[in-house]
Structure 1
Amino acid sequence: MTTETGELRRPPTVVPPGERGATRIADRVVAKIASQAAREAIGELPEDAAPPHATVVVHHDIARVRVHLELGYPTDIGARCARVRRHVVERVVALVGMEVPEVAVHVERLHLTPAHGAGQGRTR
């Protein structure tokens, strides 16, 4: 539509610009954030350990996270897993603004630290 002076006239906007559309963050993006947060929380990994990885299911801005990791042994497994849970929640909330009601941490493998020696064990 044009006006009498030849200018283009735009139809009235019903929805304010700041409220148009939606932002969707893919599950895999949230999973990458959770994986990085887990790496930050556990600190240095044992030499032959795989880095943490996460899987995420997002539904209506609620992210349910599963983190899979390997730890050095001996260590306080419960405390380290709690630290991972807290940090993952903090980072996901801060970076994507999603609610994270659940972070399941799966310790897939324990690596004997060099200080305790792989050859040491029970002897007869």
Structure 2
Amino acid sequence: MTPVSAGAGELDRPVAAVPPGERGGTRIADRVVAKIASQAAREAVGTLPPDAGRPSAGVVVHHEVAHVRVHVELEYPCDVGERCRRVRHQVAERVSTLAGMEVPEVVVQVERLHPVAGHGAAQGRTR
């Protein structure tokens, strides 16, 4: 035990260790975890067309386990499966690292595909 100086006129006394069960706990709000997930998804998606919305996330946390659903918009054409894989990986890694939670699943929902100019996107129906 390390002696601690309490101040003038007081005796030095050892600091007693507090048992782990009595130290209290930390709770991270679901909305904070959702914000971490949204930012991680934004980083994984990369550049977006100007009219695309930012990724958003919904989270359910139960006993330090976070189930995450992320909504993204992507440019098209692109490898949609690969982009979603990157989003899942980045979100799971970031939530695990920053919030200290287990992330068994990240559901990525592609809300909209934005055609990239110059890639022959059809304008209306053609015959």
Same topology, TM > 0.5:
yes
2:33 maps to which residue? Answer: 30
Instruction: Report the 3-state secondary structure (helix = DSSP H, G, I; strand = E; otherwise coil) of the residue aligned with 2:73.
Output: strand
2:89 maps to which residue? Answer: 86
Stretches of 4+ aligned residues off by more than 2 angstroms: 13-19, 117-124
Question: What is the CA–CA distance in structure 2 between the aligned matches of 1:104 and 1:92, rounded to whole Å?
Answer: 14
1:19 Cα deviation from its structure 2 partner: 5.1
1:15 Cα deviation from its structure 2 partner: 3.8
What count of residue pairs does the alignment treat as equivalent?
Answer: 115
TM-score (norm 2): 0.80
The amino acid of 2:117's aligned partner reads: P
Mapped pair 1:104 → 2:107: yes
Deviations 1:5-64 (A, max 9, x none): xx8xxxxx7943795100000000000000000000010011100000000000000000
* 1:54-93 paired onto structure 2 within 5 Å: 54-93=57-96
Q: CA RMSD in A?
A: 2.5
- State the identity %: 72
1:3 maps to which residue? Answer: none
1:117 Cα deviation from its structure 2 partner: 4.9
Question: What is the CA–CA distance in structure 2 between the aligned matches of 1:73 and 1:34, rounded to whole Å?
Answer: 23
The amino acid of 2:87's aligned partner reads: V
Give unpaired runs (5+ residues) of structure 1. Answer: 1-6, 8-12
Find 1:44's aligned residue among 33, 43, 47: 47
Question: What is the CA–CA distance in structure 2 between the aligned matches of 1:17 and 1:30, rounded to whole Å?
Answer: 25
